[in-house]
Chain A
Amino acid sequence: METVTFATQNVWTWWFAIYLFLGGMGAASISLAIATDRFLKPHKTLVLWGVVGGVMMLNLGSMILFIHLLHHTAVLVLFTPFAIINQPGAWIAWGTQFIMWVQIAGLLYAMSYLRESTFWLNFPLAGTVIKSTAFARIADFGARFRGLFAWLAMLAGFGTAAYTGLLLQSFPAVTLWHNPAVPVLFTVSAFSTALAYLMLVMLVFIRNREDHALQVLFERTDVLLLALELFIIYTLFNFTLSGSESGYRSATLLWESPMWVVGFLGLGLLLPFLVELRSLLKGWSGSAPMVIACILILNGGYILRHMFMYSGVYAFPW
């Protein structure tokens, strides 16, 4: 009975990391874009980038998960709210609802903006749909209850971001996952990557000088989120390095991985943190450093989830 086998899992691998990454970032992008439009500065272009981009990310991530299901038609039961009444402890049931509602509310919020966008009106096929009467009616409905849909999208977006961590936390056998730091870490990371995505869009595609104050606010927020992420990582290691062999082995796996140490901690967190800090204190002459910092944050966001999936250690008593 003393024999113990330590093993990592091969059930949810890189594809699940992509789902967690795109799900968290996509939902947080919708939340942040709508929150910006409602409370900071009316910004239709940013809403369209946030919502359309977010919906694409969420669908791509969900599609990857769907492909890997064993029994595809059985998933239909999750699309009704009864799924969470039936299984209130199952985070996938909650997550499906969050993902569904953040997209519905986000699109209803943004549909009237789509009708004003020359780019989307001229877009093949999509333009035809946008110009249709049915689309106009739904868009008008969305515009009439814009406040309601804004709150629904923001809350469901936050729920989706938090769900990605809460899901991992619900697996008791793995110390790296089953602790309170994980949902907080994944939520903070989701919003940090979403900010990086929105900043990247503003710097590369929108490029409007009037957005400078908004860009600075995003940078300030992201600096705080990155600092918070570093602190959570520290507490997580403080926790896993003692207390259980499973946790210790997970921590060792992470620390011995150049992908984690260099790719995530160094290039995905610390370097962007310093670049953004310098941007806030002294500024940069061009946008290139901030563009690179945003790309590194996005890269780091994926690596965090990838490494988490591969470093969860089970301790089997045989």
Chain B
Amino acid sequence: MTHYAMVIDLNTCVGCNACMAACALENQTPVWADRFRTYVHDRESFSGNEVHRHFMPRLCNHCDNPPCMSVCPTGATSKLSTGVVMVDENLCMGCQACAMACPYGARYEVTYKDIKLGKEFYGVLKRNAPSMDKCSFCNHRLVNNELPACVSTCVGSSRLFGDLDNDMDPVTKLVKSGKAVPLMAHLGTRPNVYYIPAR
């Protein structure tokens, strides 16, 4: 079996936002409304006269116990055997309960207006129906043995992608060593995106 996971090294993320751009183009997200499947937060902290910048990339955590899936009334959100949490835009009625349930703020809406604007912006739009949207780990690329767009474009190799069921995978080693940790594990969501904390 395959169990996909991502590790993000916060020490090597330089905040170039290439992941956001690559994802937006790959998945045709409504950038005009500042809605992205992955987003890099830029924070500053101060110690004495020193200013530090921190970058925190975030995306759907593809939880093994996804609250967005259990609250979805139409079954539009489902989990593949590979661990990827998917949204069926044709089944989604857009009640936005998933956005309320997600502790990672990973969900955003695609409206009728976005569909119209998307056709003008991207030329040919892959989607036809409005729905809630989120990262799919670029599942359409995974089935072709390609890495997610954000991973393949990451200049600092901050994003690593792998298979947790493969003990030899560098991602599995980082997770098992405890160097990479999930976000808000106490909520019981069992996320599959791990972070190596900044030193």
Contacts and interface: CB of A to CB of B under 8 A. Distances in A.
Interface in B34-67: 41, 43, 45, 54, 56, 58, 67
B138 to A, nearest CB: 22
B130 interface: yes
- Which of B91, B95, B132, B184 has the most chain A CB atoms inside 10 A of its CB? B95
A285 B104 CA distance: 57
B148 interface: no
A242 to B, nearest CB: 16
B99 interface: yes
A1 interface: yes
Interface stretch (B71-79, B117-125, B161-169, B171-179): B71-79
A282 interface: no
A69 B130 CA distance: 10
B198 A89 contact: no
A11 B89 CA distance: 19
Contact of B94 (A9, A69, A91): A69
Nearest to A90: B73
Contacts of A11: 96, 99-100
Given A3-B56, A318-B56, A171 B100 contact: yes
Contact of B130 (A71, A86, A173, A315): A71
Contacts of B93: 69-72, 74-75, 77-78
Nearest to B74: A77
A285 B76 CA distance: 58
Contacts of A96: 73
Nearest to B186: A244
A74 B92 contact: yes
B101 A172 contact: yes
Interface in A56-106: 65, 69-72, 74-75, 77-78, 83, 86-87, 89-93, 96
Interface string B21-33: 0000000000000
Contacts of B45: 3
Contacts, number: 116
Interface stretch (B139-147, B150-158, B187-195): B187-195
Contacts of B73: 78, 83, 87, 90-93, 96
Contact of A172 (B91, B97, B131, B187): B187
B91 A173 contact: no
B82 interface: no
Contacts of B75: 86-87
Contacts of A315: 184
B81 to A, nearest CB: 19
A83 B111 CA distance: 24
A1 B72 contact: no
B100 A9 contact: yes
Interface of B: 10, 41, 43, 45, 54, 56, 58, 67, 70-76, 89-97, 99-105, 109-112, 129-132, 181, 183-184, 187-189, 195, 197-198
10 contacts: A71-B129, A72-B93, A74-B92, A87-B72, A170-B67, A173-B184, A315-B184, A316-B103, A316-B105, A318-B58
Interface of A: 1, 3, 9, 11-12, 65, 69-72, 74-75, 77-78, 83, 86-87, 89-93, 96, 167, 170-173, 314-318
Given A92-B71, A317-B183, 8 more contacts: A1-B197, A11-B96, A69-B94, A69-B95, A70-B132, A71-B131, A173-B187, A314-B105
